[in-house]
Amino acid sequence: MNILHNRLHRLTASIAILTLSLLAGCSTKSADQPSAPAAQVKKGGSFTYAYNSDPTSLDPQKTPSTTTVHDLIYDTLFIRTPDRDYAPNLVDTYSLSDDGKVLDMKLKQGIKFHDGEPFNAESVKFTFDRAVDKDTKSPQSGGMLAGYEKTEIVGEYEVKVYFTAPQATIFYNLSQTFLAPLPPKAVKDKGDNFGREPVGTGPYKFVKWQANDSIVLEKNPDWKLAPKWADNKGPMYFDQIVFKYIPDENTQVMALQNGEIDILGVPGQQLDAVKKNPDYNFVESTAANLVYLGINSKKAPFNDERVRQAIASTIDRDEIVKNALFDQGVANWTLLSPAIWGYDPGLKDKAWPLDLAKGAQLLTEAGFKKNASGKWEKDGKVLTFEIMTYTTQPYPRVAEVVQSQIAKLGIDVKIKTLDSATLLAATPKGEHDAILIAYGWSDPDILFNFLHSSRLASSNRVLYVDKDLDALLEKGRTTVDLKARFAVYQEAQARILQKAPWVPLYTGKGVTAIRKDIKGIKTGPNGELYLYDAYKDVK
Amino acid sequence: MARYILRRLLQAIPTVFGISILTFLLVHIAPGDPITAMLPDYASPEDIARLKAAWGLDRPLHIQYWTYLVRLVHGDWGTSIRTGRPVLEEIFTRFPATIELAISALCLAVVFGITAGTIAGVRRGSTSDYLTMMFSILWVAMPSFVLALLLQLLFANKASLPVFAFAPSSGRAGAPLSLPWLKSIALPAFTLGARASAILARLTRSSLLEVLRLDYVRTARAKGLSEWKVTVKHGLRNALIPVITVLGLQLGGLLGGAFIVETIFAWPGVGRLGVTAVFNRDLPMIQGTVLLVSLIFVFINLLVDLSYSLLDPKVKYS
């Protein structure tokens, strides 16, 4: 379950991955383990994860993706609740102004960073100022504070944060470790080394990090931020959390069998073998991602929406899930993962259903005729195109199934597999026909980045321009009222489905195996694995 | 001798320089850049431009290269764009593990390879000769990931084969030469050394067979020397010259990064550093690892050449 990273395709492609996240966005199907009565809980011991590549930096403002290590070292100002809402975490009480531009936060008192530095208004101001500072070279955090103007220190434990535009996603952003408060003094003293010796307020303190070997954290005995839905209100039970570097999938499975690690996001190919093993409990979760076919809407003949719609009419999502994913995914007819806020299964009616006759009709209306060999032709040109996708599975497999489905309409598709950097560099030129890639994010505002016309030549990789959609996506990022915001994204998604610059395919599923001697791990509806009540039942 | 070494080192400068220009250009010809590879795929053009400027990637190529070169001459190998840490530091936190593994593998290869090759050469046509050659073909042909898996299943499988399971399935444990360390390095070193030992065995055998046919060996025998002395002192010593050459190349390869073995056994060496850097287009890191590997090869080739004079008195350097 490689969901903790926001760049989904990369996960499969060998960049920093820890097997699971305390706060990953995904939804789960699994009964919680019952919590033990306090007397039965065995405190102490260690809990071991596997990871397959060192994190880039443990400074959340200097990493393109956060991991479970970050999540355990730092606390966030807000936290995502099991019912997909947001609750104050390091914040005590707060209010967002009516225009959505000023966030007033009163902070919890008596909280200290691991090095003893007090957590206060000063540290929040420092954190935000640093995130947007050019010299920080922040790959992610800075962008999450778009429109940030300034932080005003009102009192020792109160800040007012000013923005230039209404902030509909502010609570989501502040619940991400990317914007977790940092200790000003430690950051200044350690300089570039802060990313190797991080200091936070979280449930675990950093102990050591040996490159390509292990990362060790120890319990923060003063931690008292356990949320409402945890039974254990004190510090977590494990004395130590160890992350073991094991890049190879077979070795990961063997390490789990040997008890060298306690938990593992099971690699797809190993799933059948691992599932037979009676020594594990399993947690199944739906990822906060979407794999889609994006069609270059600027290039002829795909600039004619009927051609895109015809392609959309050939897609059989259930077949993709069955034959390319071996059921490790769920068919998705919308633009958002079922695991995140904004998902609306009702949008299926707005998507182009599998209907080859309709596809043929759309192509005919667009001026295409079937030639002698049964292929569609217009002005002497045969309709055929190329799908670019990643080299890592399951993308090539999915592309092949899509290829066979489109072929049924009489359109030949070629597949070109590329590594992530090459593919992403190729799209801004606009010479490509179609891409089969994924995105992972937990707020619908992400659609702005991919389909707004201001993002042409960068992250709008389908070069789609639609003033009406632009207006909706702009409205979505500034509408603070949740009900109104939901309606905006319903309308925006319906429009995208109708015009078909993107044809959504599926959302990934992951299975996590946990050794049976680990008790008390609870799962949230978003796939979070809560460690608050977890302990090792050593006989 | 000292002059020879100095001359060889000076000769290495243009080689290394050429390699660095080539690497630099190749990375720039390849599509993609470190910033877009690092940023999320929804990053705004402003963010991309901001970071490119911050890392100096918006400047003309020749200026970027010149800056790199000037820093390099001052001992600064640059900063990894991905991790924001000095390249040299990134390399040297991992290099000791790679050296440990390479040396261990090489020791195994030398001991097994040269011994087996010598026995096979001396007892040509015997069962031990056939067995040695059979196993050496097997080791050369077997991909290291297959051998690694087999070894893991046999010797690190606490769940199903607890009797044989003496080693951890992966990772490096304990201080060098301690018992936990020996246990943890045994499987990766054997996997890595198997191929090299097979190559050495075949080479030693054929080279020895050739040498043993020569006149001076017959002379040695005629002098009444023992067969042991004839084989080892007169035969093997001369037969080892081509073996040492190959040994040097093997060691270079082992040090340059045993990517697969390090991955399977989670050995914390440099192996993955270069490969990950290429995927991330992390230019300073790619330059750094390539530079390291080329320096290793230059250095080892020098050692190999120098060792000839120890083995063969006819070879002299000045």
Question: How high does pLDDT run on average in chain A?
Answer: 88
Cα distances (Å, whole numbers) of residue A520 to A29, A239, A297: 16, 16, 50
Here the tokens at position B269 are: 């060496």
The mean pLDDT value for A469-478 works out to 93
Residues of A in contact with B172 (CB under 8 A): 213
- List strands edge to edge, sheet with A148-155: A91-96, A102-107, A158-163, A148-155
Q: Is the pLDDT of residue A434 over 60?
A: yes
* Confidence label for B45 from pLDDT (cuts 50, 70 and 90): confident
DSSP letter, residue A32: P
Closest C-alpha among B212, B189, B198 to residue B264 = B189
Q: In angstroms, rounded to a whole number, what is the distance separating the alpha carbons of residues B112 and A17?
A: 39
Q: Which helix (H) or strand (E) holds A215?
A: strand A214-219
pLDDT digits (tens, 9 = 90+) for A188-226: 999 988 999 999 999 999 999 988 889 999 999 999 999
Of the listed ranges A133-147, B31-45, B97-111, the least confidently predicted one is B31-45
pLDDT digits (tens, 9 = 90+) for A34-64: 555 666 788 889 999 999 888 889 999 998 8
Q: Is the pLDDT of residue B92 over 70?
A: yes
The DSSP line for B114-180 is HHHHHHHHHTTTSHHHHHHHHHHHHHHHS-HHHHHHHHHHHHS-TTT-TTT--S-SS---SSTTSHH
A14·B279 Cβ contact <8 A: yes
Chain A residue with minimum CA distance to B86: A192
Chain A residue with minimum CA distance to B93: A211
pLDDT digits (tens, 9 = 90+) for A239-258: 999 999 998 888 999 999 88
Q: Is the pLDDT of residue A393 over 90?
A: no
Provide the percentage of residues in chain B whose pLDDT is more than 90: 18
Kindly state whether A446 is in contact with chain B, defined as any CB-CB distance less than 8 angstroms. Answer: yes
Contact A506, A336 (CB under 8 A): no
pTM metric for this prediction: 0.81
* Confidence label for A117 from pLDDT (cuts 50, 70 and 90): very high
Of the listed ranges A7-11, A286-290, A479-483, B149-153, the least confidently predicted one is A7-11
Of the listed ranges A83-92, A472-481, B235-244, the least confidently predicted one is B235-244
- The C-alpha angle with vertex A151 and arms to A89 and A192, in degrees rounded to 5, equals 80
Q: Is the pLDDT of residue B181 over 70?
A: yes
Residues of A in contact with B93 (CB under 8 A): 210-211
B82·A254 Cβ contact <8 A: no
Three-state DSSP at A189 gives helix
DSSP letter, residue A439: E
Contact B113, B190 (CB under 8 A): no
Q: Is the pLDDT of residue A16 over 60?
A: no
DSSP letter, residue A261: -
Closest C-alpha among A532, A535, A498, A539 to residue A236 = A532
Residues of A in contact with B160 (CB under 8 A): 257
Measure CA of the first residue to CA of the last residue in chain A; give whole Å. 29
Residues of A in contact with B51 (CB under 8 A): 137, 139
Longest Cα–Cα distance of chain A, Å, equals 80
Q: Which helix (H) or strand (E) holds A522?
A: strand A522-523
A251·B44 Cβ contact <8 A: no
Closest C-alpha among B133, B114, B124 to residue B236 = B114
Q: Is the pLDDT of residue B233 over 90?
A: no
B281·A420 Cβ contact <8 A: no
Q: What pLDDT, on a 0 to 100 scale, did the predictor assign at position A37?
A: 61
* Confidence label for A28 from pLDDT (cuts 50, 70 and 90): very low
A259·B158 Cβ contact <8 A: yes
Q: Which of B169, B191, B272 to mutate to test the interface with A (most CBs of A within 10 A)?
A: B169
B50·A134 Cβ contact <8 A: yes
pLDDT digits (tens, 9 = 90+) for B46-61: 778 888 888 888 889 8
Cα distances (Å, whole numbers) of residue A320 to A330, A349, A453, A508, B14: 9, 19, 30, 12, 54
Here the tokens at position A253 are: 């499975």
Instruction: Name every residue whose Cβ is closer than 8 Å to that of residue A229 and which is 6 or more positions away in sequence.
Output: A81, A82, A522, A524, A530
